[in-house]
Amino acid sequence: MNADEFRRHGHALSDWIADYQATLETRPVLAQVAPGTIRAALPRSAPREGESFEAMMADVERIILPGITHWQSPNFFAFFPANTSGASILGELLSAGLGVQGMLWATSPACTELESHVLDWLVEMLGLPQAFASEGAGGGVIQDTASSAVLCALIAARERAQAGAGAGAGAAPGPLVAYASNQAHSSVEKAIHIAGVGRGQLHLIEVDENFALRPEALAARVAADRAAGMRPFFVAATVGTTSSNAMDPVGAMAGICATAGAPLWLHVDAAMSGTAALCPEFRPLFAGVESADSFNFNPHKWMFTNFDCSCFWVRDRKALTSALSILPEYLRNQATSSGAVIDYRDWQIPLGRRFRALKLWFVIRSFGVEGLRREVRKHVGWGQEFAGWVAADPRFELAAPAPLNLVCFRHRGGEDANQAIMDRLNQSGDLYLTHTKLDGKLTLRMSIGAARTEHRHVERAWRRIQEEAAHWEKRKGQARHAD
Amino acid sequence: MNADEFRRHGHALSDWIADYQATLETRPVLAQVAPGTIRAALPRSAPREGESFEAMMADVERIILPGITHWQSPNFFAFFPANTSGASILGELLSAGLGVQGMLWATSPACTELESHVLDWLVEMLGLPQAFASEGAGGGVIQDTASSAVLCALIAARERAQAGAGAGAGAAPGPLVAYASNQAHSSVEKAIHIAGVGRGQLHLIEVDENFALRPEALAARVAADRAAGMRPFFVAATVGTTSSNAMDPVGAMAGICATAGAPLWLHVDAAMSGTAALCPEFRPLFAGVESADSFNFNPHKWMFTNFDCSCFWVRDRKALTSALSILPEYLRNQATSSGAVIDYRDWQIPLGRRFRALKLWFVIRSFGVEGLRREVRKHVGWGQEFAGWVAADPRFELAAPAPLNLVCFRHRGGEDANQAIMDRLNQSGDLYLTHTKLDGKLTLRMSIGAARTEHRHVERAWRRIQEEAAHWEKRKGQARHAD
C-alpha cells in the first residue's frame, strides 16, 4: 500500500467509521450469531498474494459486522461502559501512524514525558493526593487494564514485605496474606494466583448490607491472621465494585493498614467509578484515598478513551520499579544511567509499550475538564432517574444502593422472571444488559455510560424492561391458569 | 466532535501520517531532546474547556515530534524492527472505531473467532506443528508482548508441576527450577520473579561459541538439580536471541524436557526471528519446535503489524486456561457455559482485550503470504550482504554468526572505538543502532527490518560506520602523535 493508497483508504475508513457510528442505534446490540459462524465464513488458508483494501472492507461488512456486539451502541447497558470518542479514535490512529515503542525514555522521550504529564494532570483533575504526582516520590503510568494494575501493586507489596522480612532478624516469616471484600473484582484473586502467593492466601472479607467491606471484620481478620503467624501484606479496596458499584470505606481500611506493626499496602481499585472523581460532589466516595499506596481507574471504561488505557498511580515509585526492573546490557543507554528519566518498562509487566498517552491527551483536550464533568453528571443523573423509576414500580425492587451510574434491580418474581426478562431483552437486540448475583439472587444491572446514549435511550430501556416484565407476568398467569 | 468533524479530521490525519512517513528519511532517527524538554512545553494543568483538533495537531508538530525516536525511519537499525504498514495502521483504526472489548466470546464473537482463525492460518504459514492449531487440543492467542507470553507459559507450567505434586504421594516437593540460556531475554527472569518462583530459581545455562545454549550443560544441570531435591519444571529456548540472534538447539532441548521423569514445559521464544519461518528455507532454524509446549513470535517486530501483537500458541490449551481462569458471576453467560466457545480472558493476564486480530488479518491479506516472504528474504539478504562487508574490512570483525537480519560486529579498536563510533552515529541523526556485550566486549548491532528501509539505506549505514571508524582512527593517531 503506497502513500496515495493509504490516504485514499484512510479517508474511506474514516467515513466508514462515521457511517457505522451513525447506524449504531439500529443494530441489534448483542451479536446474534451461533458459535463458529464467523470462522465458517473465512477461507481455510491465508491468501498467497495480496488482496485489495476494498476486498478486506467488504469482508468486514459481510463477515465481521454480524459478529460484533456493539459496545458503542447507545443501547449498550451491559457490564460497564467502554465508551470512546472521536478524539480517542484519532489519538489511536496517530499512535499507530507514528509507530513508536516507548519501553525506554530514549526510545521516544515524548511517549514517556507526555504520559507522566497527563497523569499529573489527572491527579489534579480527580483531586487525588499530591503524593501520587511525579514531582515527588510517586507517579503515574498507563497500564493495559485494572487487572495488570492490581498485579503490579501486589508484586510491589510482596517485594516490600519480603525485603522487610529479609532485613530483619528472628524466626522465618509466615505465609503472606492479602485481603479484599467478597465483592472485589476477580482480578484480585487472579493477581494473587499469578504472583505465586496462592489463591488461598486471599482472605475475602464480609460486606455490609450495601455490599461494602466491613472494616471491623477486616481488622479482626488481620489480627487473627497475625496471631496465627501469618503475614498480612496487601489490601485491595474497591470504590465502585463491578457487581453492584459498592463503595468500600477506604479511610477506615487505610487506618487498619497503617496501624498494624508492619504496614499493609493499600491498593484502591476504582476502575469504572474513578471517573466520577472529576466532579467535586462525588469525591466523598473516595475519602481516604489520600492514605492509599496505589490507585487505579480506567479512562477506557467511562472517560471516552478507547481500550486499552488504565491509569495507575503509586505513592512510592521506587517500591514499584525495584520490584519490576531488570536491566540487560542491550537496553542500557545514557539517559537511563543518568537517573534523570523514567523508563516505563520498569513500571509494568511487559517490556514494550505503545504511545497510549496520545489518545488520553486528545480526549482531555477535546472535552476539557468541564466537558468531561458534564458527561459524568449526565450519566449519573440518568442513573438516579432510572433508580427512581424502579423504586416507583411495585413489580420491581432495587437490589443495592445506586450511588452513580449503575443500577442493580430485580423483578420481584424471582430468578425465573429475571432470567426470562434479561434473555428476551438481549435477544431482541433492542438493548443489552447483564446480571450479577446479590444476596444469592439473580439481579439485573443497568450500567449507563455509553458515549452515544441519550435520555431517550434510557427511557426506552425502562419501557422495554416493563414490557418484558408484563410478558413474563402474562405467561406466568396463563401457566397458572392452565394448571 | 460530531460525525462531520470526525470525517474531516480523519481525512486530515490520514494525510498527516502519509506526509510524516514521506519525511521520515530526512528526520534525525534518535530524538535529540534533553530530559524534561517535552514536559516543559506542556501546560501545567488540563484545559477547562475543549480545544480544537487543529490546536492539538499543532502541538503534536511543535512539542511531540521533536521528542519522537523514529522507529519507522528507513535508517532505524536499533534494537529490533518494530515495522508497521498501511494495512496495520488501518486495522488499528478500524479496531478503535468499532470500540469492542473481546474479553468473552459473547462480547464480540468476531473478535474471538477471527483471532483463532488467523492464528490457525499462521500455524500453516510458519510450518508450526499442527498440535498448535485450534482444531485439536491446542490453540493460539494474541498477547501484548513476548514478556506476557512467557509469563503465561510459565504459570501454566507452574500449575501443571504443582498439580502433579499435589496429586502424588510422598515427601513434600522441592523448590521449582526453570532454565534458559544466559543469553535469554530478560523477560524470562522477569516472569520467574513475577510468578513468585524466585529469581534465584532460574538457572542460566552456558552457551557455545555461537551463543546458543549447550544442551549437555542443560542436561547436566537438570540432573544435578533433581539429585539435589529440586523440581525442574520449565525451559525457555530462544530461536533468535535479542542480543545476537543466537539459535538455541530446540530439538536437543526438547529431548531433555521429555526424557526426564516429570516432563518439563518447553517454551520457544522466537519473538523477532519467528517471522523467518514464513520461508521454508529458514525453517531448519526451528527444528524441534514440534515438541514444544508453547511457541511465541511477534508480528509487531518483523511482520509489519504495529505494536502490540504477539502471537502465542500452546499445545494443551486446557493447561493454560485452567491456570488462568476465574469466572465470577457477572461474566457468566450461555455461550461460556456451553463450552462451545473460547473466552480469551482465560488465555492471558488481563481481563479486557481489544480487537487486535483485525490488523493482523489486514496485514496478511494485504501482503499475501508470498508478499511477506519477499520482504523477509530481502531483509535477510541485506543482513548477509552487510555481514560480508564487515568481514571484508580488516578494521572490523563479526562478533557472532548472522543467520538472518541481525549482524553483530565490532571495530577491532576495543570498547573506546565502538562506543565512540556508536555515539557519533546516533548523535548525527543519520541512523540509529544499539549495542550489546558478547564475550564481555562492547558489540554493535545492525538490525535490518524497518518497512521503509531500502538497499541504499543499508549501504549508507555501512558507509557512515566506516566514516566514523576513520574519524576515530584519525583522532587516535593524533592523540598518539601528541604523546
Closest residue in A to B118 (Cα–Cα): A46
pLDDT of A196 above 90: yes
Residues A68-99: pLDDT tens digits?
999 999 999 999 999 999 999 999 999 999 99
d(CA A312, CA B278): 39
Residue B168's pLDDT band (cuts 50, 70, 90): very low
Main-chain phi, psi angles of A211, to 5 degrees: 70, 20
What radius of gyration do chain B's Cα atoms show? Answer: 24
Distance between CA B372 and CA B343 in Å, rounded? 30
| Contacts B116 to A, Cβ<8 Å | 39
Are the CB atoms for B300 and B308 separated by under 8 Å? yes
Residue A217 to residue A213: CA distance in whole angstroms: 8
Nearest to B13 by CA among B98, B96, B97, B93: B93
Give the span between the Cα atoms of A441 and B298, in whole angstroms: 45
Q: What is the mean pLDDT of residues B27-44?
A: 96
B165 lies within 8 A of chain A by CB: no
Residue A363 in contact with partner chain B when CB distance is under 8 A? no
Average pLDDT over residues B306-330: 94
Query: Quick check: B329 and A437 CB within 8 A?
Result: yes
- For the stretch B85-98, pLDDT in tens is 999 999 999 999 99
Is the pLDDT score of A351 beyond 90? Answer: yes
| Chain A nearest C-alpha distance from B411 (Å) | 18
The residue among B25, B37, B38 with the most chain A CBs within 10 A of its CB, best to mutate, is: B38
Q: Which residue of A has its CA nearest to B89?
A: A96
The C-alpha atoms of residue A210 and residue A245 are separated, in whole angstroms, by 9
Q: Kindly give, in sequence order, each residue whose CB lies less than 8 Å from that of residue B413, ignoring residues fewer than 6 positions away.
A: B395, B469, B472, B473, B476
pLDDT of amino acid B481? 77
- Whether residue A167 has pLDDT greater than 70: no
Preferred mutation among A19, A65, A89 to probe B, highest tally of B CBs within 10 A: A89
End-to-end CA distance of chain A: 69
Mean of per-residue pLDDT scores for chain A: 95
| A138-to-A116, A295, B185 alpha-carbon distances in Å | 11, 11, 29
| Residues 128-147 of chain B whose Cβ lies under 8 A from any Cβ of chain A | 144-147
Nearest by CB to B3, from A18, A46, A93: name it. Answer: A18
Q: How far B26 CA lies from chain A's nearest CA (Å)?
A: 15
Residue A369 has pLDDT above 70, yes or no: yes
Assessment of whether the complete model's pTM goes beyond 0.80: yes
A174 phi and psi angles, rounded to 5 deg: -75, 180
Contacts of A64 in chain B (CB under 8 A): 110, 114, 358
Query: What average pLDDT does this structure show over A145-166?
Result: 88
Q: Taking CB atoms and an 8 Å cutoff, what residues of chain B touch A333?
A: 434
Of the ranges A35-39, A194-198, A432-436, B173-177, which one carries the lowest mean pLDDT score? B173-177
B369 close contact with A: CB closer than 8 A: yes
Show the 3-state SS of chain B: CCHHHHHHHHHHHHHHHHHHHHHHHHCCCCCCCCCCHHHHCCCCCCCCCCCCHHHHHHHHHHHHHHHCCCCCCCCECCCCCCCCCHHHHHHHHHHHHHCCCCCCHHHCHHHHHHHHHHHHHHHHHHCCCHHHCCCCCCEEEEECCHHHHHHHHHHHHHHHHHHHHHHCCCCCCCCEEEEEECCCCHHHHHHHHHCCCCHHHEEEECECCCCCECHHHHHHHHHHHHHCCCEEEEEEEEECCCCCCCECCHHHHHHHHHHCCCCCEEEEECCCHHHHHHCHHHHHHHCCHHHCCEEEECHHHHCCCCCCCEEEEECCHHHHHHHHCCCCHHHCCHHHHHCCCCCHHHHCCCCCCCCCHHHHHHHHHHHHHHHHHHHHHHHHHHHHHHHHHHHHCCCEEECCCCCCCEEEEEECCCHHHHHHHHHHHHHHCCCECEEEEECCEEEEEEECCCCCCCHHHHHHHHHHHHHHHHHHHHHHHHHHHHC
Q: Looking at this protein, which amino acid is placed at residue A278?
A: L
User: Quick one: average pLDDT of A177-198?
Assistant: 96
Q: Is the CB of residue B349 less than 8 Å away from at least one CB of chain A?
A: yes
Rounded CA-CA distance B163/B179 in Å is 20
Distance of CA A240 to the CA centre of its chain: 10
CA A152 – CA A154 distance, rounded (Å): 5
**Predicted local confidence at residue A172, as pLDDT:** 44
Q: Which of B18, B82, B109 sits opposite A67 (nearest CB)?
A: B109
Residues of A in contact with B369 (CB under 8 A): 46-48
B370 contacts on A by Cβ (under 8 Å): 48-49
ipTM: 0.96
> A-chain residues within 8 Å CB-CB of B41?
none
The set of cell numbers assigned to B108 is 464480540
Q: In chain B, how long is the greatest CA-to-CA distance?
A: 83
Q: How far is B112 from chain A (nearest CA, A)?
A: 9
What residues of chain A, 2 to 21, have a C-beta less than 8 Å from chain B? 3-7, 9-11, 13-18, 20-21
pLDDT at B158 over 80: yes
CB-closest option in A6, A147, A369 to B86: A6
Chain A residues whose beta carbon lies within 8 Å of the beta carbon of residue B55: 365
Q: pLDDT-derived band of residue B329, with 50, 70 and 90 as boundaries?
A: confident
What are the chain A neighbours of B63 within 8 Å (beta carbons)? Answer: 110
Q: Is B340 on the interface with A (CB under 8 A)?
A: yes
Q: Which residue of A has its CA nearest to B10?
A: A14
Residues A236 and A248: their CA atoms lie apart, in Å, by: 10
Cell, residue B18: 502519509
pLDDT at A260: 62
Q: What are the Cα distances from residue A403, in Å, to A215, A244, A440?
A: 20, 10, 21
Query: Hey, are the CB atoms on B98 and A361 less than 8 Å from each other?
Result: no
List of chain B residues whose C-beta atoms are within 8 Å of the C-beta of residue A9: 14, 86, 90
Q: What would the mean pLDDT of A360-380 be, rounded to a whole number?
A: 98
| pLDDT interval class at B174 (50, 70, 90) | confident
Q: Per-residue pLDDT for B173 more than 70?
A: no
Of A10, A116, A365, Cβ closest to residue B14:
A10
What is the mean predicted confidence (pLDDT) over A451-456?
98
Hey, which residues does A396 pair with through a beta bridge? Answer: A411
Q: What is the mean pLDDT of residues A323-329?
A: 89
Question: What confidence score (pLDDT) does residue B147 get?
Answer: 97
| pLDDT for B261 beyond 70 | no
**Calpha distance A453→A73 (Å, rounded):** 7
- Among chain B residues, the shortest Cα distance to A340 is held by B35
Q: Looking at the predicted structure, is the pLDDT value of residue A56 above 50? A: yes
Grid coordinates of B274: 519467528
* pLDDT computed for residue B162 by the predictor: 87
Q: List the 276-335 stretch of A: residues with Cβ below 8 A of B.
A: 300, 306-308, 324, 326-333, 335
Alpha-carbon torsion, ordered A99, A102, A103, A105, to 10 deg: 140
Cα B97 to Cα A439: distance, rounded to the nearest angstrom? 39
- What single letter denotes the amino acid at residue A64? I
> Between residues A6 and B326, which one has the greater pLDDT?
A6
Task: Tell me whether strands A406-411 and A310-314 are parallel, antiparallel or unpaired.
Answer: unpaired
- Pick the more confident residue, B166 or B303: B303
Percent of chain A with pLDDT over 90: 91
pLDDT at A400: 98
Cell 514444544 belongs to residue: B292
Q: Report all structural domains of chain B as residue ranges with CATH numbers, in order of start.
A: 100-355 (3.40.640.10)
Q: How many CB pairs under 8 A join A and B?
A: 450
Check whether B297 has a pLDDT greater than 80.
yes
Distance CA A12, CA A8 (A): 6
Residue-wise pLDDT for B415-465, tens only, equals 999 999 999 999 999 999 999 999 999 999 999 999 999 999 999 999 999
Contacts of A82 in chain B (CB under 8 A): 99-101, 352
For residue A129, with 0-12 CB atoms within 10 Å meaning exposed, 13-18 middle and 19 or more buried, which class applies?
A: middle
